[in-house]
Chain A
């Protein structure tokens, strides 16, 4: 069910709001969210970018959501290098998700905010949740998001000289094009085949997932 706090259609559901719905609504009201949803039992609360830290601070101090589960992002884009494009056109944006929960009832709330694709910047959560440190570093290198105020926004997984932001939809799955696939280059030929056999057959030189025309499926 999706609704904004002022939306009256939310209560016109035949079965009435479920416990999860009323929980999501109360969280959304407490943090001053734009809207909320509980589709597929996943509580999502949409907040404005400038209210990001204040709503998560409220969540931790007043709503008891003390457990920091994860922070990540989704790159919504119609022009994708890998995989399928969205079925319906979407607004180009980076959606940042921070999942926090309590340790008594087992609630988990996904706070969501949208950032522009170019020059994405968001205030850091490291002052509120210590665990945000690594998650923000990961999101920064994978999606090119600048977490303002982060103490050490260096690359976490990738080598420091790595260029590009792999989880952006504009980033092609290049690794096997850049690094020769050992199965076709380094290894000596199978018995019965000459070592200098041609290695440029279509199936061998095009590992799955690199072609933009046929993305591996």
Chain B
């Protein structure tokens, strides 16, 4: 090619580029979109395939629990709080109970604490399995869904056998758990406790679950398409994560080994051994790996707790009408989605004066606009999905 020809070609390319210059487009995703896990709306400004600016619009699921809680009694609020993150309903109840028990200075019986711990870890497994099902699905792989939901069903059946509910157990009571746990029509009233066969069922389910984790490694973790979609995508630095209050698996994937189960005593986690799973890079792939490892660790916790569970009463002595003494307490817990906390202000009545609900997904997705700046349009789904949020947990 001569210099003249090259110059001509260059000139034509430049003029084409000038002619094709386009204005930014606005791309609206949601509120009804399968990848938004509820009703989240994302308004993205895109320049071709590049995202330049993202605004999440939330509030479609706002139910005003903080206001409603002011006109409800403490036992009634149990039914509200397990609807915050409905994928792990049981785990939401525990810190609220712990906050009320702290103000009432109630010591929860050890057996009740163990039952709470077993069911909380099962809720964590159920929540993470939902992620194992939905995240590959969002990236185009449908088979892992079958594997994950099969295992999740086993776990939900166990939760249901104890509490009577798959998603909304409504099972915790201030001072312990429901005293007639599992007292179905087939059981004698004298043994009102965990249903017969529960402990063995839990052992079997955990064995099966650990096998499925291996299958997940073989099916998804090494999959070339999956790796191409999420490796190096959506890197969240530990500083940015802390700055925005990102917690839970999303924080640990960025390499911060911070787990409230190791720092607080709301449940007897000091009696069991488990490791805090962390990532190294903080990309979407690390968030996948951390959750997969957390399923394993939760299964180990359940296995140990089932072997250690002491006998004894299921509920401390509490008055029939629950009045919480005057005071303020904040109790936070390591929920499947991250730090879940209740700032409970009591003025001595039957209901709280103010209940601030600190939910994990709210802070987790507040960082998404920053992560999505400059990524490609398909990466929006790959990044949002990896944060594993639930809109009930965002809007409350």
Partners in one complex: yes
Query: A residues near B, CB below 8 A?
Result: 39-42, 44, 66-70, 72, 74-75, 82-87, 97, 99, 103-106, 108, 110, 129-131, 133-134, 142, 156-159, 166-167, 171, 173, 175, 208-209, 215-217
Given contacts A67-B242, A108-B332, A131-B366, contact A217 B73 (CB under 8 A): yes
Judged by a CB distance under 8 angstroms, whether B326 is at the interface is: yes
B264 close to A217 (CB less than 8 A): no
In the assembled complex, the Cα of A41 lies from the Cα of B1 at a distance in Å of 78
A131 close to B71 (CB less than 8 A): no
Judged by a CB distance under 8 angstroms, whether B211 is at the interface is: no
Judged by a CB distance under 8 angstroms, whether B9 is at the interface is: no
A148 shortest CB reach to chain B, Å: 21
Q: Sort chain B's interface into a size bin.
A: 35 or more
Q: List 24 A-B contacts (CB under 8 A).
A: A39-B328, A40-B327, A41-B329, A42-B330, A66-B239, A66-B243, A67-B242, A67-B247, A69-B363, A70-B245, A70-B341, A75-B354, A82-B67, A83-B70, A86-B353, A87-B326, A99-B358, A104-B258, A105-B263, A110-B330, A158-B59, A173-B71, A215-B71, A216-B72
Given A40-B329, A70-B341, A131-B366, 20 further pairs, Cβ under 8 A: A42-B328, A68-B244, A69-B339, A70-B343, A74-B356, A82-B67, A83-B349, A84-B347, A85-B347, A87-B326, A99-B330, A103-B251, A105-B263, A110-B343, A129-B245, A130-B244, A134-B366, A156-B59, A209-B68, A217-B71
Given contacts A84-B349, A156-B59, A158-B59, contact A108 B330 (CB under 8 A): yes
In the assembled complex, the Cα of A127 lies from the Cα of B73 at a distance in Å of 39
Given contacts A74-B345, A87-B326, A158-B62, contact A103 B242 (CB under 8 A): yes
Name the residue of chain A whose CB is nearest to the CB of B363. Answer: A131
Of B64, B251, B367, which is within 8 A of A166 by CB?
B64
A83 close to B243 (CB less than 8 A): no
Given contacts A157-B58, A216-B72, contact A39 B353 (CB under 8 A): no
B residues 329-378 with Cβ under 8 Å of A?
Answer: 329-330, 332, 339, 341, 343, 345, 347-354, 356, 358, 362-363, 366-367, 370
Binary flags per residue of B277-307, CB closer than 8 Å to A gives 1, else 0: 0000000000000000000000000000000
Judged by a CB distance under 8 angstroms, whether B43 is at the interface is: no
Enumerate chain B residues within 8 angstroms of A72, measured Cβ to Cβ. Answer: 343, 356
Given contacts A84-B353, A86-B353, A99-B358, contact A130 B72 (CB under 8 A): no
B330 close to A67 (CB less than 8 A): no
In the assembled complex, the Cα of A166 lies from the Cα of B69 at a distance in Å of 13
In the assembled complex, the Cα of A156 lies from the Cα of B396 at a distance in Å of 13
Judged by a CB distance under 8 angstroms, whether B260 is at the interface is: yes
B residues 53-105 with Cβ under 8 Å of A?
Answer: 58-59, 62, 64, 66-68, 70-73, 102-103
Name the residue of chain B whose CB is nearest to the CB of A60. Answer: B243
In the assembled complex, the Cα of A153 lies from the Cα of B263 at a distance in Å of 35
